[in-house]
Amino acid sequence: MTLGRSAARSDGGTGEAARRIAVVLGTRPEIIKLAGIIDLLGDAAQVIHTGQHYDDTLSGTFFAEHDLKPPAVQLQVGGLRRGAQIGRAVTDLDELFAEEPPAAVVVQGDTNATVAGALAANAAGIPLVHVEAGLRSYDRAMPEEHNRVLVDHLADLCCAATAGNVANLAAEGIVDGVVVTGNTVVEAVQRQLPDAGQRRAALDRHGCTDGGYVLATVHRPENTDDPDHLAAILGALRTCGRPVVLPLHPRTRAAVGAHGLDHLLDGLGVIEPLGSGDFLSLAAHAALLVSDSGGVQEECTVLKRPLVVVRNSTERPESLDHFARLVEPDHLAAALRDVLAVGPDLLATLAGLPSPYGDGRASERIVTHLDALVGGARSGAR
């Protein structure tokens, strides 16, 4: 079997692909959100990593942290431009699926890996399952918006997290094969959140006190590629009046250097990207979260922590009802002052609110619907 120059496999070519479920992913959030589904599928899951996130701090360590086997197939699309990533991944996946067609293909979210898996499944006539279907920002400047819309229209089974996501799909004429499952992020947080003692140890390692710091992440191109946006964000963090912990994404670190903004990191607690356990530990005890991440917009509702979302738009309006506030970079400094001023009263309010993303059984529901879709073709499920 030839996989092309960019692919390598470690499943031994057992010839059982017809009874397998191919799970295509390429980034850290996908690993986190698909871990519960992969675990439930057991030996039936054939995990294919496109290599979109190839830095070990953003990918490899997360398989071990979530008690997952290494990917059965590892592609090498990392570092390519968006179009080249998608094209290379589609080519390699098409070759894989032609030789050993799985019973279904599962993709999650809106990454380049997601759209590549969807296109390859569609080309091969393989049933496609889209986890986290129906998100819409209605911002066409966002590459992920194009990805998620395309995948929803290709999917045979759209697993929507919320009723609002279902409504978004219906507005586009997608009504068949749509189910409400909740979001797998809820059980991912519940499963990965360390116990109280481990969280205290994580705070100690990073020199943090409970409720005494801000935890921030910045990685989206709309912020890192624009020097004015990135300068406004870093400047606001430096002047927020609280110690700031800033796990620096490789893209952000490179952008800071390229834009000549290294001096704006002075006074910030810059650290390497964190694993799930440490990140959740710090997030669970922060006075405030600041991020442009979609996943953090969901995680904050499980951890009951306030979040300021630094973006032009969001596809997760459910978080904005109570837990999060959406601002553009130029308005971040004022937003930080406003939210921090509320302090313990806001934390007390959030503690009593349920997450809008479900009850922590999304993975179970998705696998049940997947079983129905493929007619029990899976084997080896736990």
Tell me the catalytic residues: 219
In this structure, what token pair is assigned to residue 179?
A: 């189910």
d(CA 149, CA 110): 9
- Give 346-374 as a DSSP string: HHHHHHTSPPTT-SS-HHHHHHHHHHHHH
282-302 CB burial, b ≥16 within 10 A, e <16: bbbbbbbbbbbbbbbbbbbbb
Cβ-Cβ contacts under 8 Å for 1 (sequence gap 6 or more): 13, 99
Cβ atoms < 10 Å from Cβ of 201: 14
308 bridge partner residues: 290, 325
DSSP 172: T
**308 in helix, strand or coil?**
strand
